[in-house]
Amino acid sequence: MANIKKIAVLTSGGDAPGMNACVRAVVRTAIYDGIAVFGIYGGYEGLINGEIMPLNRRSVSNLIQKGGTFLKTSRSETFLHVAGRKRAADVLKEWEINGLVVIGGDGSFRGAHTLHQEQNVNVVGIPGTIDNDIYGTDLTIGYDTAVMTALDSIDKIRDTAASHDRLFIVEVMGRHAGFIALEVGICGGAEEILVPEVHLSLDDLGNLIKTWATTGKTSSLIVVAEGDELGNAHEIAKTLQSQFHANCHVCILGHTQRGGSPTATDRLLASRLGYHAVQALENGQTDIMVGWANNAATFIPLPETWEKKKPLDAELLKIYRILSA
């Protein structure tokens, strides 16, 4: 067992629904185990500026159901430099904090890893990002909520697409990964799903659209991840119109996918990972991410979380066209 007496928690990078539930779990687990716990406001930037407050059980009351992060989050340029990280480590020392829980995505994990390597700070990461693109965990906190939010919109778009016999291109979040697009596309019955991980030419897409009319389809949906190689939804629509005379309507779901009350799945995940992160620090583990895979906690060295690539579900990629034909 490590001699962990005081820990701190921060949220960093893009916000994700369920971050509050996770902070709550970290705070209450720590207090249960007799560890003092501090909240850092505004991610790494707040750490550098010493924006730290002691938290108690009541500090995290009435938060489990709330989207966003009450600790606030940020992107910190200063933390990208050694001097910034040295200042961050000094602040932790001043407060006698010897364990840091970082809730965020791969950028935040890179920062946590460097802080450990360079400044010898004990760090544990928890995956909080709607993109789900972190290796070593089946799900990231916020992903399930983002999928449900996008799906709700897609169902509504389908109503209008069907009423007007229209082709809609719906852009969902995912700059480098197609997890949201694939799951939302399958669940929303999309005719085509465009993701960064799979190559499909515009000619292929144009030909697919032509075949839909021959099978009696009068309306259709294409779901595209924002980072797809064919470009964003507006660019794709423009090309399809000019080259294939396809009359496309575009809907970009945007930041609605980041907000909202977390789903039960996200609250459960956040609660579990918050609990295990504190346990991991107490057990002397550091420079790791706590994840959840095959119904058990996982403890993955931080660099693996971005060096290894989590694949999309190959079966879903294979079957969506069969199911929507």
Q: Where along the sequence are the contacts to ligand ADP (CB under 6 A)? A: 12-14, 44, 75-76, 79-80, 104-108, 110-111, 114, 129
Q: Which residues contact 6 (CB under 8 A, 6 or more apart)?
A: 35, 36, 37, 38, 95, 96, 97, 98, 99
Taking the complex as a whole, how short is the minimal distance between the CB of residue 154 and ligand ADP, in angstroms?
Answer: 24
- Residue closer to ligand ADP by CB (options 129, 263) is 129
- Residue closer to ligand ADP by CB (options 86, 110) is 110
- Residue closer to ligand ADP by CB (options 131, 191) is 131
- Residue closer to ligand ADP by CB (options 6, 75) is 75
Q: Order of strands, edge to edge, in the sheet holding 36-40?
A: 52-55, 36-40, 6-11, 100-104, 123-127, 288-293, 296-301
Considering the candidates 131, 133, 228, 287, report the single residue annotated as catalytic: 131
The separation between the first and the last C-alpha atoms of the chain, rounded to the nearest angstrom, is 57
- Residue closer to ligand ADP by CB (options 46, 107) is 107
Taking the complex as a whole, how short is the minimal distance between the CB of residue 44 and ligand ADP, in angstroms?
Answer: 5
CB 108 within 8 A of CB 125: yes
Q: Which residues contact 294 (CB under 8 A, 6 or more apart)?
A: 138
What is the C-alpha to C-alpha distance for residues 310 and 313, in angstroms, rounded to an integer? 9
Taking the complex as a whole, how short is the minimal distance between the CB of residue 78 and ligand ADP, in angstroms?
Answer: 8
CB 162 within 8 A of CB 191: no
SS3 label, residue 9: strand
Instruction: Report the length, in residues, of the chain.
Output: 325
Amino acid at 81: H
Taking the complex as a whole, how short is the minimal distance between the CB of residue 227 and ligand ADP, in angstroms?
Answer: 14
Taking the complex as a whole, how short is the minimal distance between the CB of residue 113 and ligand ADP, in angstroms?
Answer: 8
225 forms bridges with which residues in the sheet? 172
Confirm whether 131 is a catalytic residue: yes
Tokens of residue 292, six digits: 């959840």
- Residue closer to ligand ADP by CB (options 180, 240) is 180
Q: Which of 112, 117, 115 is nearest to 128 (CA)?
A: 112
CB 162 within 8 A of CB 219: yes
Q: Is residue 100 packed enough to be buried (19+ CB in 10 Å), middle (13-18) or exposed (0-12)?
A: buried
Catalytic residues: 131
